[in-house]
Structure 1
Amino acid sequence: MSEENDSLAQEKELLTSVENASVSKKISTYSKLSGPGWLQGAITLGGGSLAGSLYLGVIGGTQLLWLQPLMMIFGVLMLSVIGYVTLSTGKSPFQAINQHINPVLGWGWLIAAMLANLVWAMPQFSLGTAALQQNLGLFNGENGDLLCALVLFATATVVVWMYDSKGVKAFEMILKILVAIIVLSFFGVVVVMAGELDWGAIAKGFIPDFSLLSQPADKFAGFIAASSAPDYWNNIILDSQRDRMVTAAATAVGINMTFLLPYSMLRKGWGKEHRGLASFDLGMGLFIPFFLATTCVVIASANQFHGKYDEGLLDTKMATEQTAKLQGAYEKNLAGI
């Protein structure tokens, strides 16, 4: 315990010494001491963010590149405020809300955070199982899904145990490595297809365009106008586009992250001296990895799928069982109009 206290005291002295230092000196010092922000980044870079980015690129192309970074900026601002209050008072927001406002709000927040953990965490086992079986060819036999789930659960248990013991630094290093692997993987996909990309359209895609809440992406305009039922397709595409936008926005920062952040900061013994570090930590560990990963997924999915269709939908000679099902559903919907 005394070693931890000495280390924390040295950390606080170091932070105090760089308060008026140059920007480069601060960045160097903060980078060495960062931690909880990377935990937030690891939480948010899961199946929800992946699916949200994937379908965002499919339905909106590069026109919707601005959406997830904008939502994450709002999320980082909110988390920064929570962190500032926590480090200033030395109390968790849950404790402060119960004591100074109303226990109903505090416990409601806790219950909502627990439910969010269940909603977001359980699907990760399915995603992890698919990764082990399809990508690595492991546990494909009988009871393979159960074995995958047990392996993932055991791994997660060990990692969490490390955070609750003296292995905090090892835990944080593992998180940084995992987040880096995720970002580099998606970045590599974009690098491979770099020659096919319209970089002008990509740059333009970072400019917020709220008209996409009321009209389909530009690439669908010609298809809709040439169809025999333009109103039908306009509504279908717009409804789907809105749903994908809401999904992508909702998976940026979850309520479970707002509850976890203050506890992870207090667990490390952070105080008032760490307020600047906390904001930097969220930017470095949460925003930048999220921005790079989701942007690369949107660009890749937009390049591969946006505005493209199965030729079997138009040419009966190339029709497949899947296109026949889609055509049947389309005709049924038209009959109901």
Structure 2
Amino acid sequence: MASRDHGYPIADAIPQARLDAEADYLDSLGARPWPSRLLGYLRLGGPGFMTAAATLGAGTLTAAMLSGATFGYRLLWISWFSIGSGLFMMAAMARFTCRGEFRLLQVQRERHGWFLPRVLTGFVGLVAVAVVFNFGQVALGTHLLESLGDSLGVPLPQSWNWVLYGALTAWLSLSYGRGSNGVRRVEQVMKAALLGMFFCFGACLLVVGVDWPAALRGLFVPWLPRGQAGIDIFIASSAAAIGVADWVFFHYAGLAKGWGPRHEKLARADTVLGLAVPFVLVSFVVVSLFAGTLHGTGSAPDSAAELAAALAPLLGEELATTVFTLGFLVVPLTSSVVLGIICAMGLHEVFGWEPDVRSNRWRACVLVPQVALLAVFFPSPVLLIIVIAALLSLTNNIVGWSFFLLLNDREVLGDNRCRSYLWNLGILVQLTLLNGVAILWVFNRLGWW
């Protein structure tokens, strides 16, 4: 078997003494009350929050807004179901990181040939996703910058604010891994951004209010719409939750933090506290906002920018409108930052380059998704995001089967391979969902559903 590279050196090497002290602290958390354990995991976690920042992007939030505006609270269950089933695969990433301590795409190439890691996982699942999805982030982000400027009395026209958007997201992406605290610094920004996003949306929801009986039915009573519009929203809501980019980024980000066997509990906690909880909470708040304002009015704009513009006046207060716009602006900004890092990781794995954040090659790869600044002049419609999500669900399924086999491969993980029927079943449920989404979209377009 070919030699494997351990770790992922995009940051300065973390001293072993620091990693050991961190592991000792994690061991001590087990004897502490749950609030103390929770705070400890939140403080030391990071890749989960970064993954949430990438996942809660223009596509996911557009799907949530359309869901609330068109169907009210009835599709709330999709958010926790899709992210919940995805946690089984995220647990596999934690195992690969902490117990395997290898670079996943290298092992995938050893066991399953070159096509899967280089084409489907690396190029399609990472690079293409980062570049294409960033068009949606830029189109939404620059529009919201202009709206925010209007509400504050500061001219920020979309015709030139793309320079600000690109400079800020590129700077943060390039900061990841730079210096001894480069990874941690960007992780802290993502944590603060997610918290700000939730509180901004939550403050607006306090103005709008929640129909709790309807919301509880939507959370716990599964329901699927028929017709093309309904299927489109279901596809975007379910497929956008977790995919190849999220799986691989979390794994490599954990390697960059030096996580080992004693960090696996932290890694799993990070997938729940950093990824699942923010995803479900923000999705709930956004769906509820639009269910409480646009549902039943017959108004369902066909772009994220139009949705934002439609909701803001309904909040009734200038301050609420500004807070909503500011919270919404965080969504594309954070996604663009992580997509740049994902693109660099993907290109380096595709071509077999050794990552070096101080090299011009790494910088160039991080900046590739910035081509999406063209979205200012050629906006990306919501349908494009939905189509890509549907097609990528098939790629996610194929790559997911490869990861499933690696998790159960004795030669890859030895005694650390998966031995849990429930764990394997959970992964199979997610893979079935991903494949079913793609098939459902095809059937819908053929008129069979």
Query: TM-score, normalising length from structure 2?
Result: 0.59
Q: Deviations over 1:72-123 (max 9, x none)?
A: 1122221121221222110122111112232221112111121111121222
Which position in structure 2 is the counterpart of 1:90? 101
Cα deviation code 1:262-314 (max 9, x no counterpart): 1100001011111110111111111111111111111111121222237xxxx
SS at match of 1:206: helix
Larger radius of gyration: 1
Q: For residue 297 of structure 1, what is the aligned residue in structure 2?
A: 286
Q: Say if 1:67 and 1:208, in contact at 8 Å, map to a contact too.
A: no
Kindly indicate whether residue 246 of structure 2 is the aligned counterpart of residue 200 of structure 1. Answer: no
Paired position in structure 2 for 1:134: 147
Q: Deviations over 1:28-79 (max 9, x none)?
A: 3212211111101111111111100000112211111111221111222211
Tell me if 1:271 matches 2:283: no
Does structure 2 conserve the Cα–Cα contact (< 8 Å) formed by 1:40 and 1:286? yes
Quick check: 1:158 aligned with 2:171? Answer: yes
Cα distance in 1 between the residues matched to 2:107 and 2:14: 30
- Secondary structure of 2:259's counterpart equals coil
Q: With CA pairs under 8 Å and 6+ residues apart, which has the higher RCO, 1 or 2?
A: 1
Q: Could you say which residue in structure 1 is the equivalent of 2:5?
A: none
Aligned to 1:275, what secondary structure does the other structure show? helix
Correspondence for 1:18: 29
Q: Percent of aligned pairs with the same residue?
A: 24
In structure 1, the residue matched to 2:193 is: 178
User: 5 Å matches for 1:326-337?
Assistant: none
Which structure 2 residues correspond to residues 44-83 of structure 1 after superposition, within 5 A?
A: 44-83=55-94
Amino acid in the other structure paired with 2:212: W
Q: Does 1:239 align with 2:239?
A: no
Cα 1:35/1:241, change in 2 over 3 Å: same
1:256 lines up with 2:245 in the alignment: yes
1:191 paired to 2:206: yes
- The farther-off stretch of 157-166 and 274-283 is 157-166
2 CA distance for matches of 1:136 and 1:280?
Answer: 38
Partner Cα distance (2:127, 2:76) in 1: 30
- Which of 169, 173, 189 matches 2:184? 169
Provide, for residues 126-157 of structure 1, a one-character-per-residue CA deviation record: whole Å limited to 9, x for no partner.
Answer: 1111111111245645xx53x32222222122
CA contact (8 A) 1:57 1:301 kept: yes
Contact 2:49 2:274 in 1 (8 A): yes
* Residues 50, 297 of structure 1: 8 Å contact kept: yes
Mapped partners of 1:239, 1:122: distance in 2: 24
Which residue, 119, 128, 132 being the options, matches 1:115? 128
Count of matched residue positions in the alignment of Structure 1 and Structure 2: 281
TM (norm. structure 1) is 0.78
Pairwise CA distance, 1:22 = 4.8
